Amino acid sequence: MRRFASPQSSWRLAVRRPATRVAGSTCRLPQVLLRLATTSGLALIAAAAQAHSTAAPAAAGSAVDQEITFYRDVLPILQDNCQTCHRPGGDNYTGMVAPMSLITYDEVRPWAKSVARNVQSRTMPPWYADEAFHGVFENERTLTQQEIDTVVAWATSGARPGDPAHAPDPVDFATHGWRIGEPDLIVDAPRYFVPDDADTHYVTHTVTLDESMLPKSRFIKAIEWRGGPAVHHIVGYGFLPGRGQERGTGYGLGSIAPGEEPMQFPDGYAKLLVAGTTVAFSMHYHKEKGPGTGVWDQSQVAFAFYPEDAELHHFVDHDPIGNRWFDIPPGHPEWKVGAGRVFERDTTIIALHPHMHLRGKSAEYVAHYPDGSEETLLSVPAWDFNWQTDYSFAEPKRLPAGTRVEYTAIFDNSEANPANPDPTVSVDWGQETWDEMMLGYVTYSRTQPERLTVEGVLAEHFGVTEFEDVEAGEDIAQD
């Protein structure tokens, strides 16, 4: 079954997070600080809070008002940072579905202690970039120290509801069916039965976009892949019409793996979905095997396009800096593997995405600039296989021509790694989760603006010479 949204369907930009209510949060803070100050005797904070509360009269109040309550102090934090996942039908990061809803007081109350523990340890919300990168990535999920203190103080002081009249309006998650907003084209893979006797199972589904689905090539603003319950990950790519469908000849269309978010480009940056393309879903299914475990899957990919008259200036490439030639010795706690790539032109990096499997421990991208200086672009000190996160720069990162980006991945093949399926064997490159991968994806474009036209992009970025570059990257990307 194939579907596509009508061409006149409204264009909508992706909304990644519920809107924050600015009014209210500025008034709330001093009360919390006052409370912390009186309980901890920190005169300095008290003074600061006092000064602030003079400026914000709403904050001054009776002793009862100083209590930290669910409705006034905690709920706004949960709305802004937790509910997108912790709600019925919450965001599903390919299998990473939050176990409980955190919307109402009755739902949150039994979890108060666990919530406090998880925010204090910074396990929740899930985010793995080094703290030094606070503010660098647009999709960052972190709480401020003040927010953490508020939640912890609330949970350890009786977890009181407070006055429901102080509650902010509930967040409307209605548009969150697709996280990229209303798609312009949804492509359904054929329905497929993942058999009973399969635990780990690879298959590629293809769907050729006929004229009714994609009458002409369109520039892509966002791509979201979606898999059923048995899907571990999907790597997506497109085969150009008439170019054959050999492995390694496709062009990259993103992917989805546990914890990964949809691919969304800043305004003016685009990929191209070429008319007549055959969309390939390279599927990795994973489930328990045994009688009755078989399930039907129908994975999908949704595209949001730019309006046809949009002025676009940057064509987006997405490929990895990787190394397949490594062999991690048994029991080794910190095996380092490196790879590098020189960007020959002025380049703008939009996002980074380290990819490893169960022995992944940490990852780092370092830019070595032509003037000899260097800069760490991303450090993920405690890698978690369950959260294959895209790190999207709030301000796209510009690299001068000749910059070499070195990607380093560290693997823990010791028994101290709780995710390690077998510390007694050596591990090299392979598809299975018990094999390893060493891929530092980079989403980037040329810095020099060009006026994107379908013909121009087809000639320059899909042409025979450029195509060989894409092929080299894809060969790795599809494994």
Closer to ligand HEC by Cβ: residue 30 or 125? 125
Query: What is the distance between the alpha carbons of residues 328 and 322, in angstroms, rounded to a whole number?
Result: 15
Query: What is the distance between the alpha carbons of residues 272 and 317, in angstroms, rounded to a whole number?
Result: 10
Closer to ligand HEC by Cβ: residue 114 or 426? 114
Among residues 16, 53, 94, 111, the one that binds ligand HEC under rule CB under 6 A: 111
Contacts of 165 (CB under 8 A, 6+ apart): 71
Closer to ligand HEC by Cβ: residue 152 or 194? 152
Please tell me the count of residues contacting ligand HEC according to CB under 6 A. 22
Shortest CB 139 distance to ligand HEC, Å: 10
Among residues 29, 34, 59, 119, the one that binds ligand HEC under rule CB under 6 A: 119
Residue 220's alpha-carbon distances to 241, 284, 302, 306, 458, in angstroms, are: 18, 25, 10, 6, 14
- Which of helix, strand or coil describes residue 94? coil
Closer to ligand HEC by Cβ: residue 16 or 355? 16
Closer to ligand HEC by Cβ: residue 179 or 461? 179
Q: How far from chain centre, in Å, is Cα 455?
A: 31
115 binds ligand HEC per the rule CB under 6 A: yes
Shortest CB 287 distance to ligand HEC, Å: 17
- Residue range at the interface with ligand HEC (CB under 6 A); choices 1-9, 119-127, 172-180, 411-419: 119-127
Closer to ligand HEC by Cβ: residue 66 or 139? 139
Closer to ligand HEC by Cβ: residue 204 or 386? 386
Among residues 30, 76, 126, 183, the one that binds ligand HEC under rule CB under 6 A: 126
141 binds ligand HEC per the rule CB under 6 A: yes
Shortest CB 364 distance to ligand HEC, Å: 23
Nearest of 409, 434, 433 to residue 423 by alpha carbon: 434
What would the x/- binding string for ligand HEC be over residues 357 to 396, using CB under 6 A? -----------------------------x----------
Helices 145-155 & 112-120, crossing angle to 10 degrees?
Answer: 150
Shortest CB 173 distance to ligand HEC, Å: 13
- Residue range at the interface with ligand HEC (CB under 6 A); choices 19-27, 120-128, 185-193, 360-368: 120-128
Q: What would the two tokens of residue 153 be?
A: 């103080």
36 binds ligand HEC per the rule CB under 6 A: no
- Residue range at the interface with ligand HEC (CB under 6 A); choices 123-131, 222-230, 270-278, 323-331: 123-131
What DSSP state is assigned to residue 216?
A: S
What would the x/- binding string for ligand HEC be over residues 61 to 100, using CB under 6 A? --------------------xx-xxx----x-x--xxxx-
Environment class of 140 (CB within 10 Å of its CB; exposed 0-12, middle 13-18, buried 19+): middle
Neighbours of 440 (CB within 10 A): 27
Among residues 125, 250, 320, 360, the one that binds ligand HEC under rule CB under 6 A: 125
171 binds ligand HEC per the rule CB under 6 A: no
Dmax (CA) for the chain in angstroms is: 75
Closer to ligand HEC by Cβ: residue 96 or 419? 96
Residue 30's alpha-carbon distances to 68, 149, 455, in angstroms, are: 11, 13, 58
53 binds ligand HEC per the rule CB under 6 A: no
Q: What would the two tokens of residue 33 be?
A: 């600080």
Residue 62's alpha-carbon distances to 31, 67, 273, 305, 410, in angstroms, are: 11, 10, 61, 54, 54
226 binds ligand HEC per the rule CB under 6 A: no
Residue 440's alpha-carbon distances to 112, 307, 363, 452, 471, in angstroms, are: 38, 32, 8, 27, 17
272 strand-pairing partners: 219
Neighbours of 26 (CB within 10 A): 13
CA torsion angle 290 435 126 395 (round to 10): -140
Closer to ligand HEC by Cβ: residue 260 or 364? 260
114 binds ligand HEC per the rule CB under 6 A: yes
Among residues 124, 272, 280, 477, the one that binds ligand HEC under rule CB under 6 A: 124
Environment class of 48 (CB within 10 Å of its CB; exposed 0-12, middle 13-18, buried 19+): middle
Shortest CB 175 distance to ligand HEC, Å: 17
Give the CB-side neighbour count of residue 145, counting CA atoms within 13 A: 4
Closer to ligand HEC by Cβ: residue 37 or 103? 103
Closer to ligand HEC by Cβ: residue 287 or 397? 287
Which stretches of the chain bind ligand HEC, using CB under 6 A? Answer: 81-82, 84-86, 91, 93, 96-99, 111, 114-115, 118-119, 124-126, 141, 143, 386
